[in-house]
Amino acid sequence: MSLRRPAKDQPVSFEFNDLSLEAANLILAKYPEGKQQSAVMALLYIAQKQNNNWIPLAAMKYIAKFLDMPYIKVYEVATFYTMYNLAPVGKYFVQVCTTTPCMIRGAYKLIEACKEKISDNECELSNDKSCSWMEVECLGACVNAPMMQINDDYYEDLDKQKTLDILDKILNGETPKPGSYRGRVNNEPENNRKTLMDLKNA
Ligand code: FES
């Protein structure tokens, strides 16, 4: 689970850049007049994305003003949900699923790779401060287990070596190709099986 305490070092100010402002206004337009506060979660997500994957207190205050709601209410939402990071996690935020289907398919080999390449401990920045990793619960890609998420992308059908290669790439500032690392298209079955009864290809 991500650290739920705000970072000690906080920027003094925050405001949406043009891209975030446009995204925030698009979200706001979906709510009826007077109900814009319901957009708080989406706006926190936009702020997190703009700010290298974490939400400073200044962003919570900015969003409170933006939505004309009390700061404490924005703070409560941001500190309750674990998908919001309250401290720097690096430009590349690696989340490794270790729930049962991924675990029995080798998720802890992926954790070993993260420890070797990023940091011994989860929620700790790499030496160059560009990334961090943490264990998370099911990310909904169990069919292609084991898997991990880096920022918005899923990397699936992994093993230790493939994970090491992917992490090498992000540590070099490259963006590795997302998706299955065994060439599967989406969630297609292995060995061209079409039904659970189709055992001849199992
Ligand atoms: S158990 Fe890992 S994605 Fe569901």
**78 C-alpha vs ligand 1 centroid, how far in Å?**
24
143 lines ligand 1 (CB under 6 A): no
Torsion sign over Cα 61, 65, 67, 72 = positive
Query: Is the residue at 190 inside a domain?
Result: no
139 lines ligand 1 (CB under 6 A): yes
Task: Give the position of tokens 């090491």.
Answer: 164
CATH number, domain containing residue 145: 3.40.30.10
3-state secondary structure 169-202: HHHCCCCCCCEECCCCCCCCCHHHCCCCCCHHHC
- Do residues 78 and 7 make contact, with C-beta atoms less than 8 angstroms apart? no
CATH number, domain containing residue 68: 1.10.10
pLDDT digits (tens, 9 = 90+) for 44-75: 999 999 999 999 999 999 999 999 999 999 99
My answer on whether 75 and 98 are in the same domain is: no
Q: How many domains does the chain have?
A: 2
How many CB atoms neighbour CB 52 within 10 A? Answer: 16
> Which of 108, 137, 138 has the most ligand 1 atoms within 8 A of CB, as the residue to mutate?
138
| pTM given for the model | 0.85
Query: By percentage, how much of the chain surpasses pLDDT 70?
Result: 96
Average pLDDT over residues 185-196: 77
**Full residue range of the structural domain in which residue 73 is found:** 18-80
My answer on whether 73 and 108 are in the same domain is: no
Residue 1 or 118, more confident: 118
**Average pLDDT for the chain:** 93
